[in-house]
Amino acid sequence: MSLIKMENVTKIYHTGEISVTALQNINLEIDKGSFISFIGPSGSGKTTLLNLIGCLDKPTEGDIIVNDVKINLLDRKNGAKFRGDSLGFVFQNFNLVPVLTVYENVEYPLLMVKNVPVSERRTRVLDLLEKVNMLDQKNKYPNQISGGQKQRVAVARALVTNPSVVLADEPTANLDHKTALKVIDIMRQMKKELGTTFIFSTHDPKIVGNAEIVYTLEDGKIVNNKKGGE
């Protein structure tokens, strides 16, 4: 049984009288515990695809089923609840909340989204910070740590609610190659330890090699899928 299923998904953006087809008739199934990568040139539809799977946007046509929920039918409130319960996000620009410390940033989804009791919260946050090797930086604010460290914190934040899927849009784009590999390593390790499905988009061919399945997008269509390293 697939964790994610996209059926005939099309996304068209309308700007005034101009219509741009970002995704066209996408059919896709992703199994639980996969480590998937989407590649393709700018404008190929990678971010749109991740946004649709992440319940951040709605398709113009077609259905998207994640965790047995037809997410294209969810309203704003239920969409937010679904994201909080089932999804984790890692962004290209890290997107940590600047007024919160590293610890508080990781704690945020448990506190503001899921209302987890304090003792459990503390255990889970410290455990994840240790896993991403950021425990010693827990009291620092985002402006006091490096880009690579910020992205490790972002990975910990994405995982703290035990989501089924973590979506990462170009997570290594703002990192040097060495740091980027470290972040991908951490993601792989987390996938292995927690069984979480990771889906990320990237430009970096060396990073792509780490994915189990690589989907190539061009002009809003999946033109190729192959096993990582092929």
Residues that bind another protein (CB under 8 A): 51, 54, 56-57, 76-77, 80-85, 87-89, 91, 93, 95, 97-100, 108-109, 111-114, 157-158, 161
Q: How far is CA 119 from CA 12, 78, 116, 199, in A?
A: 46, 27, 9, 31
Q: Which amino acid is at 114?
A: K
Find the shortest distance in angstroms from Cβ 24 to another protein: 19
Instruction: Please identify, using beta-carbon distances, which residue of 88 and 210 lies nearer to another protein.
Output: 88
In whole angstroms, the minimum distance from the beta carbon of 26 to another protein comes to 17
Query: What is the nearest approach in angstroms of another protein to the Cβ of residue 216?
Result: 23
88 or 171: whose CB is closer to another protein? 88
Question: In angstroms, what is the minimal distance from the CB of 193 to another protein?
Answer: 21
Query: Using an 8 Å Cβ cutoff, are 213 and 220 in contact?
Result: no
Token couple for 195 = 């069984």
- CB of 48 closer than 8 Å to CB of 217: no
Q: Which is nearer to another protein, 121 or 208 (CB)?
A: 121
Task: Please identify, using beta-carbon distances, which residue of 116 and 214 lies nearer to another protein.
Answer: 116
User: How many other C-beta atoms can be found within 10 angstroms of the C-beta atom of residue 185?
Assistant: 11
Cα distance between residue 25 and residue 8, in whole Å: 4
Cα of 165 vs its chain's centroid, Å: 7
